[in-house]
Amino acid sequence: MSQLKRVQEAVERSGLGALLLMDDKNIYYATGFMPTDSAALITPSRAWLVTDSRYIEDAGAKCSPGVELVLDTAERPLGECLKALAAEVSGEIGAEDDKLCYAAYTALEGRLGRVFSPAGALVAGLRAHKAADELENLIAAQRISEKALEETLAVIRPGMSESELAAELTYRMMRHGAEKNSFDPIAITGAHTSMPHGVPGEALIASGDFVTMDFGCIKNGYCSDMTRTVAVGSATEEMRNVYDVVLRAQLAGIAAARPSATGAEVHAAGAKVIADAGFGEYFGHGFGHGVGLDIHESPRASLSNGEPLGEGAVISAEPGIYIPGRFGVRIEDVLYLSGEGCVDITKAPKELIIL
């Protein structure tokens, strides 16, 4: 079944007359085309993509069968096109309350002369459960990142700056077919590794440092996400111990990950290992998050999610320990939940590497 058909069936089940999509990733999910400044209107039986002259030709080549193109022009801009299409829809129109700001949401209601039904959860729910072709794209993106990591490990050396390391990762992912980064790479060293989302700067790698690399790329619209922490030259007994605790925590969470498990249960399995080792205060984020067209999407493997993760969910597995002012360790893989367990789609080695 095509993703357009999945969306159309979801619209029908919801009782809506149509679903209005303004978010680029949601439009791509439904139509197969990634636009900018465009919109899609999906009914149980029809689908329109409204875009302008910059994208109309490309959209014609890439849109899924069944998507009708509508040209947005200066004389008949996007809002007017949508108003005309909305006139053909009987019943309520759903809109992305989770993606549109209040001003845009209400402005669109005024332009179309309709009161929207909040429907952001409809597409988010579909996107949380990956089809086979989506999984293939996620794996392809992951393999590119792994090749980049393998090559980058060979050039890391004392005296290299964090910014230079981030550039190496980006360059090598692009060389291997990435469309772009899935997020700005985190490439940090020494005491900076205690900051989970540290920003690469001019700090230089030194012998005896931990180096944390959290990075990913986009392939066919889908994201990869991985983190590896390595040591340069040597690692103290304390560093080795913290690394071992984080690895055991990740493996515990992976063992707990299955479609019937809640996000909170998976998080708790990993967090318990860290707490039992005496480092509970140094693990402050969730065990993982959904990965797909967005680098962070549903479902979440965190204490706040008491719902089952579900068949076909793709989540990160990324516990960490961060000791302020000293060092931190994070190890991250991506999991696909299927059957009674999960498949780790990340193949890069996880044992402590000392370069």
Query: Can you tell me the distance from the alpha carbon of 178 to that of 142, in angstroms, rounded to the nearest whole number?
Result: 10
Q: What is the pLDDT of residue 340?
A: 82
Task: Read off the pLDDT of residues 257-289 as tens digits, 9 standing for 90 and up.
Answer: 999 999 999 999 999 999 999 999 999 999 999
Residue range(s) of every CATH 3.40.350.10 domain in the chain: 3-126
Q: What is the pTM of this model?
A: 0.94
Task: Read off the pLDDT of residues 215-237 as tens digits, 9 standing for 90 and up.
Answer: 999 999 999 999 999 999 999 99
Cα 177 from chain centroid? Answer: 18
Contacts of 306 (CB under 8 A, 6+ apart): 262, 263, 264
Residue range(s) of every CATH 3.90.230.10 domain in the chain: 132-344
Domain 132-344 top-level CATH class? alpha beta
287 token code pair? 């065990």
In 10 A of CB 57, how many CB atoms?
10
- Grouping H, G, I as helix, E, B as strand and the rest as coil, residue 281 is helix
Please tell me the chain's helix, strand, coil percentages from 3-state DSSP, rounded to the nearest 5: 35, 25, 40
16 token code pair? 């809506």
Q: Of 324, 294, 329, 288, nearest to 309 (Cα)?
A: 288
Fold of 3-126: Creatine Amidinohydrolase; Chain A, domain 1 (3.40.350)
Q: What is the pLDDT of residue 339?
A: 87
Query: Which residues of the chain are modeled with pLDDT < 50?
Result: none
Q: What is the pLDDT of residue 1?
A: 67
- Grouping H, G, I as helix, E, B as strand and the rest as coil, residue 334 is strand
